[in-house]
């Protein structure tokens, strides 16, 4: 009918418009250039490259969207009317530039759970009608554990007492990420210097005792809560602080340490080994000199070891060990005294003297006993005058006792008993000891002890 024809004619433009709009909403595919799999370590940044397909007109509005496969909410977009995922907000950025056809995605502070498959979608919107969609190929991202460690650089050589600047850097960290936190740990005196997002400066003034100690730079990435560190041992150059001498005498393994100038007694003929040591870094050059430094000492050993196979009078005197170092030298001196061994002749004389003295002492004791006994008998019996110097001992029978009182003289002297056949005889012994004079070993001399016996 005529009414139906009129209705159809009115709907035809609308159908054409719907067909046209539907055509504009069709999706077109394009392929991303570059690898299909990207890897990144946690806490770092990664760029997903993307280049826009050819666009026929710049008179329309274009929006870009990056999606996680299987999600309806984008992880990044330049559409102000579109929300993004909470997990990726602030970390995923769309690098949008129509003039250069750039549609790349940058991920900073990468996390392990960011491992996924992503794709890009371009929407070309027509005013009042709809849009044309361009969907890219898929791209996989794999986030690995962080294995990079910071680097520590030391310009020049560390010298005791001199300040040096150390630098701890993480050049592999991205500048767009959350700035890392640097921490230093050291026993040496230090002070912090300026820092950047990728480095930190430390000023150190090492001491001799800081040699071989640890210095650690620790870097924490707060975006992911990961901490990495590097530890080095300080190599501090310093002059010798002390020199010691280890002494080995004869076959003995006993060790004596000398830290100051001192005297060293050594037995004549004994072997002597002196080992000198110093604590500088790098090691000092050690040498031995005969004499003392102030007396123009003579070099006798170009090492720290001095061996004397047989010590005699020629070795008596001063010895100096010198530790020479580019940063300063140190030395230690000692005086060697030779103790002489006693000769065999002198020992024989001393033995004879001791023997004679012992014998004389025995005779002296015997004579003293006889003298006491004789005097007691003389007090009880009359004394007979003798022409010679020997007194007469009057003895009686063993069973007869003589009694007397002190201070009372008898008017009638007692009758003398007959002298027995075993008449006891008293001898006086005069002992004369001469002081022994020790002579030089080369001179042989004999000393005599004189014993005189008179009857």
Q: Are 164 and 154 in contact (CB under 8 A)?
A: yes
6: Cα within 13 Å, side-chain hemisphere:
3
Which part of the chain is CATH 2.60.40.10?
A: 17-144, 151-237, 243-339
Characterise 94 by phi-psi region: left (phi > 0), alpha (psi -120 to 50), beta (else): beta
CATH of 243-339, one of 3.40.50.150, 2.60.40.10, 3.40.50.2300, 3.40.50.280: 2.60.40.10
- What is the three-class DSSP state of 416? coil
Closest CA to 297 of 269, 268, 314, 322: 322
pLDDT reported for residue 371: 62
pTM confidence score? 0.63
CA distance linking residue 145 with residue 113, whole number of Å: 11
Could you tell me whether strands 46-48 and 181-186 are parallel, antiparallel, or unpaired per DSSP bridges?
unpaired
CATH of 17-144, one of 2.30.40.10, 2.40.160.10, 1.10.630.10, 2.60.40.10: 2.60.40.10
Which helix (DSSP H) or strand (DSSP E) does residue 349 occupy?
helix 344-380
Sequential pLDDT tens for the chain (455 residues): 555 455 445 544 444 444 444 444 556 888 898 899 999 999 999 999 999 888 756 678 889 999 999 999 999 999 999 999 999 999 999 999 988 899 999 999 999 999 999 999 999 887 666 778 889 999 999 999 999 999 999 988 999 999 999 999 999 999 999 999 999 999 999 999 999 999 999 999 999 999 999 999 999 999 999 999 999 999 999 999 999 898 888 777 667 776 666 788 888 888 888 999 999 999 999 999 988 875 677 889 999 999 888 888 888 888 999 999 999 999 898 888 888 876 544 444 444 445 555 565 655 665 656 565 555 555 544 434 434 433 333 333 333 333 333 333 334 444 444 444 444 444 444 444 444 444 444 444 444 444 444 44
Annotation: CATH topology of 151-237:
Immunoglobulin-like (2.60.40)
User: CA torsion sign, 150 to 87 to 137 to 125?
Assistant: negative
Closest CA to 334 of 242, 245, 240, 241: 245
The pair of structure tokens assigned to 19 is: 């067909």
CA distance linking residue 343 with residue 321, whole number of Å: 34
């Amino acid at each position: 009918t005529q009414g139906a024809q009129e209705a159809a004619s009115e709907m035809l433009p609308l159908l054409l418009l719907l067909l046209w709009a539907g055509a504009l909403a069709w999706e077109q595919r394009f392929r991303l250039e570059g690898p299909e799999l990207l890897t990144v370590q946690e806490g770092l940044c990664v760029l997903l490259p993307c280049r826009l397909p050819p666009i026929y007109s710049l008179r329309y509005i274009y929006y870009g969207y990056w999606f996680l496969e299987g999600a309806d909410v984008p992880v990044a977009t330049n559409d102000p009317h579109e929300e993004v995922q909470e997990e990726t907000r602030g970390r995923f950025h769309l690098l949008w530039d129509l003039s250069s056809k750039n549609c790349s995605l940058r991920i900073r502070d990468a996390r392990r759970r960011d491992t996924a498959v992503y794709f890009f979608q371009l929407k070309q919107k027509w005013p009042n009608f709809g849009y044309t969609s361009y969907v890219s190929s898929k791209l996989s991202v794999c986030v690995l554990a962080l294995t990079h460690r910071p680097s520590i650089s030391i310009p020049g050589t560390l010298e005791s007492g001199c300040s040096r600047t150390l630098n701890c850097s993480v050049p592999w960290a991205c500048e767009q990420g959350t700035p890392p936190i640097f921490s230093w740990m050291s026993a040496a005196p230090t002070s912090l210097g300026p820092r950047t997002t990728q480095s930190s400066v430390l000023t150190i003034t090492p001491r001799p005792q800081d040699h071989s100690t640890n210095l650690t730079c620790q870097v924490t990435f707060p975006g992911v809560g990961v901490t990495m560190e590097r530890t080095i041992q300080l190599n501090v150059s310093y002059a010798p602080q002390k020199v010691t001498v280890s002494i080995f005498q004869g076959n003995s393994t006993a060790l004596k340490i000398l830290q100051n100038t001192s005297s060293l007694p050594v037995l004549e003929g004994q072997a002597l080994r002196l080992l000198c040591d110093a604590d500088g870094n790098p090691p000092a050059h050690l040498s031995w000199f005969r004499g003392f430094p102030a007396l123009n000492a003579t070099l006798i050993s170009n090492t720290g070891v001095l061996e004397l196979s047989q010590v005699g009078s020629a070795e008596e005197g001063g010895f100096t060990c010198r530790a020479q170092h580019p940063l300063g030298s140190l030395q230690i001196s000692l005086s060697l005294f030779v103790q002489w061994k006693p000769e065999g002749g002198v020992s024989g004389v001393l033995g004879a003297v001791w023997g004679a003295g012992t014998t004389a002492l025995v005779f002296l004791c015997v004579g003293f006993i006889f003298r006491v006994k004789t005097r007691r008998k003389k007090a009880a019996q009359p004394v007979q005058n003798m022409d010679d110097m020997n007194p007469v001992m009057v003895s009686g029978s063993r069973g007869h006792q003589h009694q007397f009182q002190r201070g009372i003289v008898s008017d009638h002297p007692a009758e003398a008993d007959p002298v027995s056949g075993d008449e006891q005889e008293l001898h006086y012994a005069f002992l004369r000891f001469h002081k022994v004079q020790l002579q030089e070993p080369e001179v042989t001399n004999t000393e005599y002890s004189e014993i005189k016996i008179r009857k």
